[in-house]
Structure 1
């Protein structure tokens, strides 16, 4: 229950303060304990003392209007998360930061803290990210919510991923899965499949394709067992990409066929159509079928048409898909059109996924290749150096090869 006493206790614990530390010389530990357990109503003077020690305000402790604030932000974040969005953490940060001290320490507040933590990880502030995730975890623990606690453990792993500590992210996720995989108290059928999908994604960040396939197939089995079919398309997309990279055409085709079974259940489902579309993009890109890649990209507005999601998806993915289009045009020797697209916007979007970072580097790799083609060796060196700097913090993979090979050739040429 969200009471004045529980709010004081939660804030004290958030700041790692003992009863004695908060009580100080002003009151006894016993009196403070009575206040925290709602057995004694503090005076305004006592409230002002407690608020000052907790670096907050009396109005925040009294939660004037905070229930409405918490509910509104909770609902807005839920709405934001419905849309595939590579920058939604920035939206959440803008929403939550101004009212962080007004959010109630209840389950909805925990949900907000959970997602607010990612805004800190996004700017590489690991300490703050862990701090806010710990707040969420403590609230869920008080409510004995095993499903949310497992979800939070998965989110700790995601924080490590966002700061590109891929090995730590993977090990934390695997440990969480091994701890809870047979826990019969789990009631949310999505928890274990989502955790397995997270492990699969982290395996790829470590470029372990075999384990990646293993965990995604376990996620598929669990989804079917739990009848959580809506998550299957993202799993099939990931499996298809792994089979593409492994050049296993037979497994790719068998897995791709499964999209049709899901689509029969809901042919207009946006996420299903989005996963199919992105799977085909990767297939044509890796297999250098550039004519088909261009045709698919030209159809994206009709294939992904959805009143609710269209603009948001275009805003967040157009820059990325433009790189694919430019690369296709360049390899079809339509150099001017390709370079025009690559130079259109100098502002770089920060990508987190390994493949996305690698393809982003290819933007500058192809600009380097074009300078080399025109005989401008200095310009080629400048561009390829920028490209290699982008991929320096990620493992070498299929998508980085062209950047690495181009860098070696251009730099060696200049020596």
Structure 2
């Protein structure tokens, strides 16, 4: 952490001033040198004089973390945080290490609150202690500075932590209580925050198998987005609707929302949407339409087009399509490569991924390895039992009963 003298020296050099020039007529060159080397403390009058000649506020020199340094730090941390969220294999240790020297010495301003929020989230994801304290500090700063949309982000983060623990009812209650608390204080959140609340509430209703309330909120959010010409969250909302249509056997609905998403992908020039939609279509063809060759064609197109780390979620579908085509040995290779992403927490996502062990059980049974078939059928059954009654559950339990009947 830079000292007062070091901050003065840094600003002086940035402005291209010599010791003599900065000292001017009010200070001696020798005294200024002592101040810069932390061998003398300036009086408040001298500090005001130095600040004026440097063109900064005196308080900025006094702050343990000056405004310029704080803004540079936030820019760096925001960039690191964005990259880490896009590639979780990077981990949060770099963010934590850069923030550790600053965490307890930040001034009361927006940049500090945002840094504390990111620091807290990094500590949480890295499974380290102390994250709650820093999250609370960030929230208090946001509230004091009347930055209510930022405060709302923290409310949603806390509620979704319960979601991560698969405590869906508790998560929904927390989210709704937070929304109510803002309304009771006459806080008007911006349109993007409203859509964040709508989306989170809808997926929680779906996690609790309350499709009626979930669809009501999603349709309302889509109408609101269209009315206000806001495209934020539209990708997520359409994606949820298309997946729900698949689960309920509504092919026309699935095609309608997938087409909407394709148009949105073209409009926004977002290749990630196209890749997600291809994965969704391959999943539909494998698990519901049983058109394995068509699914395999879509999968291979993406495996060839994108890097391996970008297509890891395709490995499960590749294994399923090969199994359906009677290529058990090849299917086994891809299924064994598939890993369930640790940040998946919704019953839809979990149930879909739990199919992996059921397919492994079927392959091992065909290879006359009954012991391994029993093992994987049991894993699949144990995983799926707490999940809602979705088509995946029926498939997995059917496989379990089939394997264990022999």
Instruction: Mark yes or no: TM-score above 0.5.
Output: yes
Match of 2:111 in 1: 108
**Aligned to 1:296, what secondary structure does the other structure show?**
helix
Matched, 1:76 2:68: no
Matched, 1:327 2:300: no
Given the alignment, which residue of 220, 229, 233 partners 2:222? 220
- For 1:390 and 1:121, the matched residues in 2 are separated by 25
TM-score by length of 1: 0.70
Q: Which moved more, 1:330-339 or 1:70-79?
A: 70-79
**Aligned to 2:150, what secondary structure does the other structure show?**
helix
Change (3 A) 1:236 1:146: same
Match of 2:342 in 1: 350
Q: Which moved more, 1:350-359 or 1:144-153?
A: 350-359
What does the per-residue CA deviation read over 1:140-168, in whole Å, with 9 as the maximum and x for residues that have no partner?
Answer: 11211111112221111111111221111
Given the alignment, which residue of 394, 400, 404 partners 2:393? 400
Q: Which moved more, 1:65-74 or 1:368-377?
A: 65-74
Maintained 8 Å contact 1:237/1:279: no
Aligned runs of 1:311-390 on 2, under 5 Å? 311=307, 314-315=308-309, 317-344=310-337, 349-353=341-345, 354-390=347-383
- For 1:361 and 1:80, the matched residues in 2 are separated by 26
Maintained 8 Å contact 2:91/2:126: no
Runs of 4 or more above 6 Å deviation: 181-184
Greater gyration radius:
2
Quote how far apart the aligned CAs of 1:182 are: 9.6
**Aligned to 1:229, what secondary structure does the other structure show?**
coil
Match of 1:151 in 2: 153
Maintained 8 Å contact 1:233/1:259: yes
- For 1:250 and 1:182, the matched residues in 2 are separated by 42
**Aligned to 2:188, what secondary structure does the other structure show?**
coil
- For 1:321 and 1:361, the matched residues in 2 are separated by 14
Change (3 A) 1:291 1:130: farther
Matched, 1:242 2:244: yes
* Larger RCO (CA under 8 A, 6+ residues apart): 1
TM-score by length of 2: 0.72
What stretches of structure 1 of length at least 5 have no aligned partner?
5-40, 42-60
